[in-house]
Amino acid sequence: MTTRTFTTRRTAPAVFAGVAGILLAISLTSCKSQPNLTGNWAATGKTLENGEQQKALLQLKQEGSQLSGTVRGLGFQTDVKGTVNGSHFELFGVDWNDKKPFLVGDLVDGKIEGTEWGEKFSAKPATPADDFPKEAYIEPPPLHPVPYNGLAKTPPMGWNSWNLFAEKVDDKTVRTMADAMVSSGMRDAGYIYVNIDDTWEGVRDASGVLATNHKFPDMKGLADYVHSKGLKIGIYSSPGPRTCGGYPASYGHEEQDAKMFAAWGIDYLKYDWCSASTIYKDAQLQPVYQKMGEALHATGRPIVYSLCEYGLGSVEKWAPQVDGNLWRTTGDIRDEWDSMMDNIDKQVPTAPYAGPGHWNDPDMLEVGNGHMSDDEYRTHMSLWALTAAPLLAGNDIRTMTDTTRSILLNKEVIAIDQDPLGKQASPVKAGKLETWIKPLKDGSVAVGVVNLDAASATAAIKASDLPVKGTVKSARDLWTHQPVKFADGQYSTTIPSHGILLLRVSAR
Ligand code: GLA
């Protein structure tokens, strides 16, 4: 097992990032020389794509230079901690393990000006009128199993808008991305789903129908277009009243939304916990997710059901019972080595629960987004394949480089991910060289050796350590696409820093 340890980033919807102009609400107890942030602040951020205004409430307590409290946005809430230096303060999510503060601000003349995930906001002392509307509590249904939809026999593959485009995704982007999925060869390599993430939502009308916003003028037309390319289309919502980005979500409208998605021709739903945490406890995740699972089932349309709950509530133990085809095992991935490795580590304990129809999801791919080296991206792709993770590209398929293309379209690596046996690899050897082994349907094994060190290192794989029956008959390096020879029962090679050796080994 790996010896690396990480703190769990419990509810770290990166979503807050691009979308949340935050709102803080604070009541200020200030003295002239030393401003104090203690109190409640109402913050106003940018105008959302549906015309509504991003808001947040900040409850803070300052003790000397230390700051603590809670930040509640439309779509999320988190306990925070941070520091104050003069009029300047910085806040971190308590459970998020982030290196940089997500919210910074300055208290000047009784008001706060700041940024939250890079988006500007301003805040004033809060009044009761600033509080968010109270949502009536809806009891989730009693537990019972939802029948399996028969989908995702191998881990879902496709593209998702969030990692690169966030709130900038629109109809044109999706259409041109669908075109590129075909022209680049992604579709034919198995990347079938084109998934629209958060920020497509408009507002709900009096009869409860949720409109799209100006970026998606004709969702049915868009779905038809994506289908005409031999692809499938996915969409996004939340079991809470608001998505992580602060847009209206499916709370109390599950059946209505599921029917609308089916009528549009939607093939995949990512359902993101977000503001459901302001209404329900983690212990209620299963019945809450069951509600949408049943609503999707009732439409009669085959819709892949993707649970996005950041690994909360031992999801892997019950997700198949709500007809979840995949479920997140982690907080949001960032395009950084540490974040990627952190996510794959959180995937490890859930290995026994992966199998045809039901997959652990360490979040979408960052390959090609520019902040990891090519070796790191090859490791990223290989580890996702070894752990039978969904392969949802998160880059711009229209403009990807040849190297990115060679990583995402490596058919020998994709075959490891899509192996019909559906076993998830586990790390079997820790240290600077970490070995992962995945049994495959034809009796061969995939072996990955990751070099975690800052310098290149030599790996020696012993045939006797591999769970294959008999002696090694053939072995292939899946990145060089060359056969490799086990001499005297061993294969040795040099692996660059943060690179991977990925072999497929057969025996007789
Ligand atoms: C959460 C999810 C992300 C993304 C955003 C959208 O952070 O974990 O994958 O869907 O919400 O708001």
Could you report the per-residue pLDDT of 441-492, keeping only the tens digit for each?
Answer: 999 999 999 999 999 999 999 999 999 888 899 999 999 999 999 999 999 9
- 47 CA to centre of ligand 1 in angstroms: 19
Query: Which residue, by CA, sits nearest to atom 9 of ligand 1?
Result: 332
Label residue 15 by pLDDT band (50, 70, 90). very low
Q: Using a 6 Å cutoff on CB, does residue 197 contact ligand 1?
A: yes
Q: Is 364:392 a contact under the CB 8 Å cutoff?
A: yes
- Confidence (pLDDT) at 33: 52
Question: How many degrees, rounded to 5, is the angle at CA 48 between CA 292 and CA 120?
Answer: 125
Q: What is the mean pLDDT of residues 74-90?
A: 94
Mean pLDDT of the 296-313 span = 98
Query: Separation of 142 CA from ligand 1 center, angstroms?
Result: 28
Instruction: Place 112 in a pLDDT band, splitting at 50, 70 and 90.
Output: very high
Provide mean pLDDT across the span 221-229: 99
pLDDT at 9 over 60: no
Residues that are catalytic: 272, 332
pLDDT, position 4: 28
* Cβ of 243 below 6 Å from ligand 1: yes
Q: Which amino acid is at 74?
A: L
- Ligand 1, atom 7, lies closest to the CA of 13
CA–CA separation, 101 and 104 (whole Å):
7
Share of the chain above pLDDT 70, in %: 93
Confidence check: pLDDT of 14 > 50: no
Q: How far apart are CA 393 and CA 408, in angstroms?
A: 8
At residue 35, the pLDDT reads: 74
Residue nearest to atom 6 of ligand 1 (CA): 15
Q: What are phi and psi of 484, to 5 degrees?
A: -125, 155
% of the chain with per-residue pLDDT over 90: 88
> Where does 7-137 show beta strands of DSSP type E?
39-47, 53-63, 66-73, 77-85, 88-93, 103-108, 111-116, 119-125
Mean pLDDT, rounded, for 423-444: 94
> For residue 230, is it left (φ>0), alpha (ψ between -120 and 50) or beta?
left
- How high is the pLDDT of residue 34? 62
Q: Which atom from ligand 1 is nearest to the alpha carbon of 245?
A: 12
Ligand 1 in contact with 272 (CB < 6 A)? yes
Distance, in Å, from the CA atom of 484 to the CA atom of 503, rounded to the nearest integer, reads 9
Distance (angstroms) between ligand 1 centre and the Cα of 23 equals 19
pLDDT at 216 over 60: yes
Q: Which band of pLDDT confidence, cut at 50, 70 and 90, is reported for residue 508? A: confident
Contact 140, 287 (CB under 8 A): yes
CB 206 within 8 A of CB 194: no
Q: What is the pLDDT of residue 6?
A: 22
For ligand 1, say whether the CB of 58 is within 6 Å of any of its atoms: no
At 196 the pLDDT is 99
pLDDT of amino acid 430: 78
What was the pLDDT predicted at 76? 86
Instruction: Lowest mean pLDDT of 2-6, 157-161, 407-411, 483-487, name the range.
Output: 2-6
Task: Compute the average pLDDT of residues 11-22.
Answer: 37
Residue 340 binned pLDDT confidence (cut-offs 50, 70, 90): very high
Looking at the DSSP bridge assignments, the partners of residue 72 are 57, 77
Ligand 1 pocket: which of 197, 333, 361, 369 to mutate (most atoms within 8 A of CB)? 197
* pLDDT of 10 above 50: no
Whether 65 and 85 have beta carbons less than 8 Å apart is answered as yes
Q: Looking at residues 168-193, what average pLDDT do you find?
A: 98
pLDDT at 12: 41
Mean pLDDT of all residues belonging to the chain: 92
Give the pLDDT score at 470: 81
